[in-house]
Chains A and B, each alone.
Chain A
């Protein structure tokens, strides 16, 4: 019988009326990689935060190494050998790697000794686990993959035997993710116990020994990874059968609807983020833009939709040019049939403090359908909102509810419903399913394909490679502000991954 590193017995936790965790029982075996999957809001992060002492459970027991433990703060967790790598890194950006590593684990009141000790300790960890990183580098100057490595080093420096990783691959390129998995396997071989929280089922299959599935605050199943399948896990997560890959027919591409020409965009610091790119999207096709976040996709979307002024470039909408370097006006673009679902729905797409029906006409509020003379026609707006709620299965079906009270997936559906129901000729969508549950992803993908089949031109930008591959009829890969390659939907992940990492691009340049 393998020894349990951690046992959770009957954990309950509520936030107000929401029961985030109910009667959770879980046993994590020492020296294994244990995956925890579940949709957003299933309670995975809450459970791990309880284990790390960030929150206290309302009831239940935690046993670490067989001993009942009271974990009241991260300090207690650290003392018990539990370390956590958070989804949003808990690093001080303008500190050096060393300063971040010793923060909170300084050996005495003056820094000199702590730093010297940490330096030699880091060298040892580097040798043992292949976790190379320059100890004197400033965090904000490091790529995210290395920042994450610093988080792992922080935990190991504190003597962690049990390492919790919360959605660790969300910000990584496929190559970086693979490197991380190699490190995790090495840590496992050295006897560490690893808990991996993710919603990416492929990662679970690739690396874990055991997997537990959470749904709506409860632990619904624990399986040995090699005895389960992606399909079974998805079904357990959602509670019903899900189509992981959308079924779609052949694209019947027509004439060019949207042509982006010689677009160059700089960000607010004056750095060139989009460097002279041109591409077309034809009627009846979905063009997907793949790339690691931060390679100019966001700036490109903002420029095309008229939110950000471009340095140079224009778009042709149905053959008519619009200059993007002038005082670009999102309203004008919208009037000419370009609908935009922004990447960041919280800051750009929605006013969270508004009621759902108000958000469902945002930007179209001067459409005569919603007006009665100079005033808003509240009844028409609410009827319209109720129609969209029914059509897009937005839950709860209450158009008077504050938008902040909808889940991420339903908020995204509110934005999609608003933009798609205007019947635009061109739809551009940034991160269509970021922070959206598996069930809603399926729905959103079907909708996007339906748009395509109606002969619209659809441009999708996503950092989720799976999504790009399953939706797109053509895939463009962006790296460092340029389109570095075009592939068909049959392109392999490895092929796209290399393009995304700029490898092929550099080789071509040499």
Chain B
């Protein structure tokens, strides 16, 4: 039974750890499906996390925090759009610039406003998104097997966790069942076809980037208002890049993206769980190796285990009407 409880705990933290990855990964999916590479997921999450925690602590409301996180993140997404769609700039350069601005400005503004070394004040419980306990979760806890699964894995998460997982079927539906999705996929493959069909390439791509901004904003809010009780500098810690790796691993498909993010979350959870625990046969594994595991796996997977990942064909190329 101990073993079972340990597994449930690892899976529970898998869910918690994969949520920011999943939100960022879906964010990247909108942008890249529309033909805009977005290496700035990391930066947008970071400004979202900062704006969310700062607004929540000033206005004492988690929802105002979330709204502000989304707003600022979308604003950064639009900057990326302005550089790479309107002015046809290099999308990688623009994304990297956004990451730098995000890393610098959050610390600077944090220090200027709160004087806590770039942190935001610790959030009170009503300024954070608390866990939602599903009906009967406590009563069922003692039921063997199903009890812990229901009360630990399904119940007891914050609203943003449910939002993230509902965003998966929603994204699939948008992509493959709506006019917007059809056009978005088309513009990522062949913008000239969209243009000659009488649809604005730029406006379509801007709308995709707004979706990206909304999702990275939620991802940021999750980091600073659910996982953590406030903003800490550089708290995204490379999650934006892992999300990009997951996106490639998932071949730009929403449901696969969810599984990819769960896998990365699981490795993360496992590495935390196994820290300091001796493994059979191998013995004690250094903490650093365990922490590096998700990244090592990323390299191995991307190096060839997933077959050929074909990105949207117009990805990374600014659209210029041919002469």
Contacts and interface: CB of A to CB of B under 8 A. Distances in A.
A90 B189 contact: no
Given A90-B192, A92-B189, A94-B189, A103 B180 contact: no
Interface string A93-127: 11100011011111011111010000000000000
A219 interface: no
B179 A106 contact: yes
A278 interface: no
A74 B200 CA distance: 10
A216 B179 CA distance: 43
A54 interface: yes
Given A93-B313, A111-B177, A111-B182, A74 B195 contact: yes
A78 interface: yes
Contact of B177 (A84, A86, A88, A110): A110
Contacts of B196: 52, 54, 74, 84, 86, 90
B190 A104 contact: no
A75 interface: yes
Interface string B174-205: 00111111110110011011111111000000
Given A90-B192, A94-B189, A95-B186, A111 B198 contact: no
Contacts of A111: 176-179, 181-182
A75 B194 CA distance: 11
Contacts of B87: none
Contacts of B195: 54, 74
B178 A109 contact: yes
Contacts of B193: 90-92, 100, 103
B197 A104 contact: yes
Contacts of B179: 106, 108-111, 114
B182 A93 contact: no
Nearest to A75: B198
B313 A90 contact: no
B190 A91 contact: yes
Interface string B154-179: 00000000000000000000001111
A93 B179 CA distance: 18
Contacts of B186: 92, 95, 99, 103
Interface of B is mostly: helix
Contacts of B321: 54
Nearest to B187: A92
A154 B72 CA distance: 41
Contacts, number: 70
Contact of B198 (A73, A86, A91): A73
Contacts of A99: 182, 186
B183 A92 contact: no
Contacts of A375: none
A188 to B, nearest CB: 23
A73 B176 CA distance: 27
Interface string A110-153: 11101000000000000000000000000000000000000000
A47 to B, nearest CB: 13
A443 B195 CA distance: 39
A103 B190 CA distance: 12
Contact of B178 (A77, A92, A93, A110): A110
Contacts of A109: 178-180
A279 B192 CA distance: 42
A109 B183 CA distance: 11
A15 B322 CA distance: 12
Contact of B190 (A77, A92, A112): A92
A74 B195 CA distance: 8
Contact of A95 (B177, B180, B189): B189
Contacts of B194: 103-104
A75 B195 CA distance: 9
A73 B197 CA distance: 10
Contacts of A154: 197
Given A54-B321, A110-B179, A74 B190 contact: no
Nearest to B200: A73
Given A91-B190, A95-B186, A103 B197 contact: yes
Which 10 pairs from chain A and chain B are nearest by CB? A104-B197, A75-B198, A90-B193, A74-B198, A106-B179, A90-B196, A92-B189, A92-B186, A92-B190, A104-B199
Interface of A: 15, 52, 54, 73-75, 77-78, 84, 86, 88, 90-95, 99-100, 102-106, 108-112, 114, 154
Given A86-B196, A154-B197, 12 more contacts: A15-B323, A52-B196, A74-B195, A75-B198, A92-B189, A92-B193, A93-B189, A93-B190, A99-B186, A106-B179, A109-B180, A110-B177
12 contacts: A52-B196, A90-B196, A91-B193, A93-B189, A95-B185, A99-B182, A99-B186, A103-B193, A103-B197, A110-B179, A111-B178, A114-B179
